[in-house]
Amino acid sequence: MLKQNNLKKEIHPNFNESHKNANSAWDKDNQAWWDWYVSLADNSNSNVNNTLLELPEPPKVKYPSKINLKQLLSKPYNLTEHDIKTFQKNGFIKLKNVFTPGALQVLRREILTLLRKTFTNYYEMKKNRFLSLEMMWVENSVIREFVLSSRIAKICADLLSVKKIRLYHDNALVKESGCGRTPWHYDDHHFPLETNDVITAWIPAQAIPIEMGPLMFAKPIEVYKLVKDIEFNKSDTSYDKKISDIFKKEEVSIVEEPFELGEVSFHHNLSFHTASENKTTQSRIVLANTYFADGARVVNNPTMISGDWKKFIPETKPGQIVSSKFNPVCWPAIN
């Protein structure tokens, strides 16, 4: 079982050598980072250009009041010891009925509104794209409730078996109709935090059938050791292909399941995961919140794989403890 006591980040001996093509800082915005990153996915076996599955928009339900939404997002979830052991063994878990349909309808509405506001030609440019928004909670009071939710934060703290966690950042991950695969990866590459007590809550704003490209996980968590020495290449799909080949050769168990409405997944930063193409006519809208154990430091040498990390951890230098105003304590809840 994975130890959960604020472990030091595992950087394999040839990390600097294997990342020689990506050891500089990222110098563009976060959307440009995603445009680059999804280009590294192997889509040679994709049939995304075939006829897309026609899906209706999610059914309309009654919106909860602001008071009811706040109560829902602060109500503790009934997490079991079995859930915790499953997460720590496999590196991920999917939990049902974390949110109500009404709450998710509110979340979807807010993200769509921000997409239209951020990308002025949203409807013309979204085809086949992977769009991203981040730090939404700073400006949007509704999304702030979802990001700073003590319901979510307590689940994350309990799964990691830590007493206190902070926010790294929020992220709207929108895989538009026709968008291809997300490459195999683990988040240890992306979060410049010197700890392995890092977890992401992946919150779909609608049900996700297989054809829409739900998150896909490799288990158990230790499978990352099979591929940790593969050389990352910033220019082609070789990294993604090699991981797929090794997982197939080693007969690694891959879990790809649809997400019911209200179902949320939680994955550890050492959990290898990917997602298939979106072969539907509907946008796959997800809110991904990443949290980490209080006391973590920024790694000494962040690379371009960490994207615009200084936006998420401002006024914090490599080697310093992360405690900026944009990284608040989310559990225990502070009233």
Instruction: Supply the pLDDT for residue 7.
Output: 35
Whether 54 maps to a domain, the answer reads no
311 vs 168: CA distance, rounded Å: 10
Instruction: Supply the pLDDT for residue 306.
Output: 75
In this structure, are residues 175 and 278 in contact, taking their beta carbons and an 8 Å threshold? yes
Backbone dihedral angles phi then psi of residue 192, each to the nearest 5 degrees: -80, 55
173 vs 285: CA distance, rounded Å: 6
Whether 52 maps to a domain, the answer reads no
80 vs 11: CA distance, rounded Å: 32
306 vs 309: CA distance, rounded Å: 6
Whether 281 maps to a domain, the answer reads yes
Instruction: Name the domain count of the chain.
Output: 1
What pTM value is reported for the model?
A: 0.91
Tens of pLDDT, residue by residue, the chain (335 residues): 333 333 333 333 233 333 334 566 777 788 888 899 999 999 988 765 578 999 988 888 999 999 999 999 999 999 999 999 999 999 999 999 999 999 999 999 999 999 999 998 898 888 899 999 999 999 999 999 999 999 999 999 999 999 999 999 999 999 999 999 999 999 988 899 999 999 999 999 999 999 999 999 999 999 999 998 998 888 999 999 999 999 999 999 999 999 999 999 999 999 999 999 999 999 999 999 999 999 999 999 887 677 788 999 999 999 999 999 999 999 998 76
Q: The domain containing residue 98 runs over which residues?
A: 15-42+62-331
Instruction: Supply the pLDDT for residue 17.
Output: 34
Give the number of residues written for the chain. 335
236 vs 231: CA distance, rounded Å: 12
Q: Where are the alpha helices (DSSP H) in the chain?
A: 15-18, 30-38, 66-74, 81-90, 101-118, 122-125, 141-147, 150-160, 224-227, 238-249, 309-312
CATH of the domain at 315: 2.60.120.620
Instruction: Supply the pLDDT for residue 22.
Output: 55
32 vs 143: CA distance, rounded Å: 23
272 vs 243: CA distance, rounded Å: 10
326 vs 29: CA distance, rounded Å: 18
241 vs 17: CA distance, rounded Å: 20
Whether 290 maps to a domain, the answer reads yes
273 vs 216: CA distance, rounded Å: 5
Instruction: Supply the pLDDT for residue 113.
Output: 95
Whether 151 maps to a domain, the answer reads yes
Instruction: Supply the pLDDT for residue 314.
Output: 93
Whether 263 maps to a domain, the answer reads yes
Whether 49 maps to a domain, the answer reads no
Q: Tokens standing for 310? A: 């200084």
One-letter amino acid of 60: K
- SS3 labels along 88-138: HHHCEEEECCCCCHHHHHHHHHHHHHHHHHHCCCHHHHCCCCEEEEECHHH
